[in-house]
A = this chain, B = another copy of it.
């Protein structure tokens, strides 16, 4: 048989918009997820892991920030003709599970979940098509005590992962108040909720962009429309100046205390029953939280939080990191939002026809990790494993035994498994592994029952800066009996960790 023509080699590339995570990137995320899970579990939340794949039908058209069906998801047609897709968030699968298992799950059902979600969006710097979310939701609890619990738990979770009090703020608002304001402004008709729905959507998106466009930009979007720098025109909601004034008043209703903010909101919603109900809910949330010690330095009523998602129906919340970091261009900017959520009473109804109250929060794990790294709270140089070098290829069994001895003492240890011929390469390898120590044993040392212990951190330091006297007084390599190897290696590692 003639040999096939060599096929073109495949490209070794992560698909566009995706990335790989190595070493500490993986363990740090795992540690953070475990810490958050512990907080969620303590509050009685149970883990749920749904499949990554859902039917497109079950996902629905609820992709955040996108009103078009199936836009933004990775989808394909199954052999049976069904359309399947990767989940784009954790809320849609929860709604499906809550409907599917409604007879078996406890009611209310508190669940947490963590894992990757996928978005078929244009990737950008720091914006990937697969990222982690860590959500907690309560399904079947109509009381805003459930919302208050979620806000308090979010605050606890942020502190547990290493964001100190004062470096974050959970801001809480209520869609009902906003809708009450809309009613007062004449863009919501309680007897016909569909009326003005498009204009309200535009208003919602406009005020969600307050941070980005400022008051003038938001007013333009609420009115005739906005022309951006590039010349693109975004159609506005068509509100008059008077109507826009009412909405802007709501945005700027934040006062020093929850009670004062609520009082101001009560003025703004005037006679709107829905608005008054929303203000009452905010007051109750503030009262329950303050009763548990979550004061306004941690959780704050703030009418400027609206959250873009169309499906929220009551309280909405957002956790923001308040410290400044330097962006790619070296400019100071505030870190911004790392978590958000709210009450969405209609998602389960899609499946069952029956309204089920639900509320929850989603923590953007990768952003939170980035924040902790930016603050230097994680990402210190971890020490690699001890490397046992290979002097005599035929004594591999001895080297494996040395590594096993170190492991039994609780240390990470490995034998060099590349070509041992060039000893320099073995030390270069240990360097790349960020090893604290290399173990060396030639046949001479083996015969005498000793090993050479090479302190790689001290060695590098001496090579870089030591005088001849120091070099002599601080030997970076020394001999020890095999029986003392563990103890000596541990001492070196402990010294490095103490630095």
Contact = CB atoms under 8 A, between A and B. Distances in A.
A52 B130 contact: yes
Interface string A390-422: 000000110011011001000111111111000
A224 interface: no
Given A42-B412, A75-B76, A141-B417, A118 B53 contact: yes
A15 B53 contact: yes
B106 A429 contact: yes
Copies of this chain in its oligomeric complex: 2
B74 A42 contact: no
Contact of A194 (B1, B9, B42): B1
B22 A292 contact: no
A106 B432 contact: yes
Given A51-B20, A57-B10, A97-B20, A84 B397 contact: no
A184 interface: no
Interface stretch (A145-153, A225-233, A263-271, A333-341): A145-153
Contacts of A397: 287-288, 291-292
Contacts of A287: 397
B417 A80 contact: no
A448 B249 CA distance: 47
Given A106-B433, A397-B291, A12 B100 contact: yes
Interface stretch (A168-176, A346-354, A487-495): A346-354
A101 B60 CA distance: 39
A151 B352 CA distance: 51
A288 B42 contact: no
A13 B75 CA distance: 17
Given A74-B53, A80-B16, A415-B145, A22 B46 contact: yes
Interface residues of A, number: 103
Contacts of A413: 42-44
Contact of A110 (B26, B41, B414): B414
A108 interface: yes
A60 B8 CA distance: 12
A467 interface: no
Contact of A41 (B80, B138, B412, B432): B412
17 contacts: A12-B352, A13-B55, A14-B96, A15-B51, A20-B51, A22-B47, A26-B49, A44-B385, A44-B414, A52-B118, A86-B86, A108-B416, A108-B417, A142-B419, A143-B417, A287-B397, A292-B397
Given A12-B352, A52-B130, A75-B76, 18 more contacts: A9-B350, A10-B57, A10-B60, A15-B78, A18-B51, A21-B49, A42-B412, A43-B403, A44-B412, A44-B433, A51-B130, A52-B118, A53-B118, A142-B419, A143-B396, A145-B415, A145-B417, A149-B417
